[in-house]
Amino acid sequence: MPQAIHRADDAVTITWDEGHVGTYPARDLRLACGCAVCHEEMTGRPLLDPATVPEDIKPLSIALVGAYAIKIVWSDGHNTGLYTYEHLKQICPCERCGSMEK
């Protein structure tokens, strides 16, 4: 579970524990949305065309969902995705974890 979440126009920074901080570029995080609008529910096949996501997309707000996820409202109007902490840790771009291309 995150210790802190910071929203900026170009990124979301999550402090997971001491020494583990991931800064997720906004557009990369938007493209990683796993909701049914962005991914086919049965196969997981991507439905979101990356060309439709603005380069300068911004997270407008972030809300906690229970003790397992966050919900982000994006500047392109998208707001149906939940980013579970498990998924966010899997795609953590910090030096310790690797990159979002996992």
Residue 100 lies in a domain: no
Q: Which domain covers residue 59, as residue numbers? A: 4-90
In terms of Cα–Cα distance, which of 47, 13, 6, 54 is closest to 30? Answer: 54
Write the single-letter amino acid at 58: K
Count of structural domains, the chain: 1
Beta bridge partners of 6: 13
The predicted-structure confidence for 42-99, as pLDDT tens digits, reads as follows 998 999 999 999 999 999 999 999 999 999 999 999 999 999 999 999 999 988 886 5
Q: What is the pTM of this model?
A: 0.90
Residue 10 lies in a domain: yes
Residue 99 lies in a domain: no
